[in-house]
Structure 1
């Protein structure tokens, strides 16, 4: 039996969204009124609601995109390659490439940062193809990444009918929202209290979940049949909000284009922090043999004969190795996490000197929780972090400075 997924035709106010969905960590599908002003709805779609492939090829054909082959599994993901967008569209137009799925396309950032935008886009349509709805503006991830990195978490997805994204949970239990510009999708969503049912037998420590919920080996995943996912179909113009920590799988029922963001803020900060701690523990367990080698090399027995002192700094090296693997595996490490928190807190306190408005406009105070709520959430995570037995605050370079800045901002806010 499937669980019911809430829907609302009217776009909620920020206060309604905060209280009914963010704080409750509750999913919802919002009707087309939320994004009725988006230019993409008219530029990318013909009057009969089919995709205007010729416009897309003219406007964005020279963009290099990542294309997943949904017919070829690559560990927990799909085999990927780089292609020009016009070449992918030509494949679809010729009746080929039906398993090809354009994923994680940073189109908004590309258009904002490329000196010569793809032909047709700026000249014919100078306005952006979409804007972030107000209820999703309090977005720490994209605010920080847009200001300080060459990356972000804003994506366009384009795929034929039958293409899909395997079962996964978004990075560090971040939220996601996804709007269908055109087409239909089917979602399978599993609330956090069902997560333990999704793991491979004996694989809980490494969080190895089923790949495709439509074809699960009951011998390898003996608890999966006990899970009761929410299964929902998303239509054109509809926006789905996926709460923190919900595993999900998505299938395109028709040719489909969607705009997606991963995001976080003070509301799900405790979940992100706990997920970071769990990821570090997972990596530490996986590299236990490395830790033993490092510690043994620092023992007196391994000391150079010309020195009476053991090697120093193996703990520093160990922490550096763990943080490097964490970053490579999941995109963040502790330094990234706390720098993002510092940036978000400074913006919430109207410290615009740290902000870059070019790629991510400043979020008004009325579109975020109270400053007291924000500082208390951050303080709780900080207090726990400084007590961690790994002592990362002392061993990760510059991290103590970042935490000191955060504490100073909190004191100033009070």
Structure 2
């Protein structure tokens, strides 16, 4: 494998990037990129320099249980511990490969850390019915993570959960990325089972093929199909954001000790992709469970696994058939277009988002609504009969 077999990961200056250009060049074409000069005035840029800041922070729930990776990339072992113990391990042994990866800081009761940064205008422009929807991943709570690790740690090739998009800001250190165009998702994930939907490898189908290891020196020999994909390679510096759009297959490794922040999100740029994954989840997981269990037992089991109340879950599932209604689509588009300046640019963004989302939803909406309607019917009938 040589550097010439990769394309350079596009780099764009966040101080001059216009929202319309971001949509047209990156978000809608599913093009990964590095965006520089974001967060220059965030307190996190000065404070998030080591694990010790988080260990000393009064707003961090240090008893929250997390899974970490111990050991160098490719030979790491999973370690179950707490946030506090993980931070102490990293602080005491900074040269030892240890990775506190995917620390769900909001779900884990450390949401006060959000005071140290602001979400850039390009991302997370979505109404509550998208960002809080449990079937779409409940991104406002369950898709916000911190990654703190030493040099040599890594995240293997994966697709982000629920086919959502993500922005990752590097507070300190340097990361190397290999990202594929989101348009090459089908090519790269064919035959990989549930790994193609953003699940951890241990949860993937045992009889499926692994995703290509993008950092394997023999990548193109072992996975010949990768020669047909658009693979981009680049280095993320402190203060940069790496944008991974929906369907983007990617891998990353820490060239230095790193502290980074990731938010995944659902908005008008990726709603059709996320709805496609939700349809798969409904058909393959949620509906089979609902058919086998009594409605109350089903809701009890699912509410525990999702961390929400049964009443909230029940209402969300009953409302699911109307999620992609014309009214909701218009609200999602208007919210996303709000990233542009008022006037001509905003109207151009609105028109662009509306046309592209309508086109993509035409292929997804019927199957989603059919599965959602069956779920609603089964729940409504079961809950009604249980009251008699």
TM-score (normalizing by structure 2): 0.67
Q: How many residues get paired? A: 338
Secondary structure of the structure 2 residue equivalent to 1:273: helix
Q: Which residue of 1 aligns with 2:361?
A: 381
What is the aligned-residue RMSD (CA, Å)? Answer: 5.0
- 2:8 maps to 4
> Quick one: structure 1 residues 160 and 265, their matched pair in 2 at CA, closer, same or farther if it must change by over 3 Å?
same
Equivalence for 2:376: 397
1:222 Cα deviation from its structure 2 partner: 5.3
CA drift at 1:226 = 5.7
CA contact 1:188–1:250 (8 Å) conserved in 2: yes
Q: Is this contact kept in 2: 1:166–1:212, CA < 8 A?
A: yes
Cα shift at 1:174: 1.4
Out of 161, 164, 168, the residue aligned to residue 174 of structure 1 is 164
Q: Which residue of 1 aligns with 2:66?
A: 66
For residue 238 of structure 2, the aligned residue among 236, 251, 254 is 236
How far has the Cα of 1:278 moved from its partner? 4.7
CA distance in 2, matches of 1:261, 1:190: 19
The 8 Å contact of residues 175 and 256 in structure 2, kept in 1 or not, is answered as: yes
Native 8 Å contact 2:32 2:180 kept in 1: no
- For 1:341 and 1:182, how far apart are their aligned partners in 2? 39
Q: Distance in 2 between matches of 1:227 and 1:382?
A: 26
Q: Is the 8 A contact 2:181 2:229 kept in 1?
A: no
Range moving further from structure 2, 182-191 or 142-151: 142-151
The equivalent residue for 2:91 is 93
Matches of 2:292 and 2:184 in 1, distance apart? 37
Higher RCO (C-alpha under 8 Å, 6+ residues apart): 2
Alignment pair present for 1:366 and 2:353: no
Give yes or no for contact 2:318–2:379 (8 Å, CA) kept in 1: no
Q: Does structure 1 residue 275 correspond to structure 2 residue 277?
A: yes
Aligned to 1:250: 252
Tell me the secondary structure at the aligned position of residue 93 of structure 1. helix
Distance across 2 between alignment mates of 1:40 and 1:367 = 23
Q: Distance in 2 between matches of 1:224 and 1:130?
A: 37
Displacement of 1:237: 0.3
Conserved? CA contact 1:140–1:263, under 8 Å: no
Q: Aligned match of 2:30 in 25, 31, 39?
A: 25
Q: Which residues of 2 match residues 68-83 of structure 1 at below 5 A? A: 68-71=68-71, 79-83=78-82
Q: CA deviation at 1:371?
A: 7.9
Give TM-score, length-normalised by structure 1: 0.63
Moved more, 379-388 or 157-166: 379-388
Partner of 2:211: 210
CA distance in 1, matches of 2:360, 2:183: 23
Name structure 2 gaps, 5 residues minimum.
197-208, 307-312, 341-348, 381-388
How far off its partner does 1:193 sit?
4.7
Structure 2 equivalent of residue 162 of structure 1? 152
1:277-316 alignment, distance < 5 Å? 277-278=279-280, 316=291
Q: In structure 1, the residue corresponding to 2:122 is in which secondary structure?
A: helix
Partner of 1:356: none
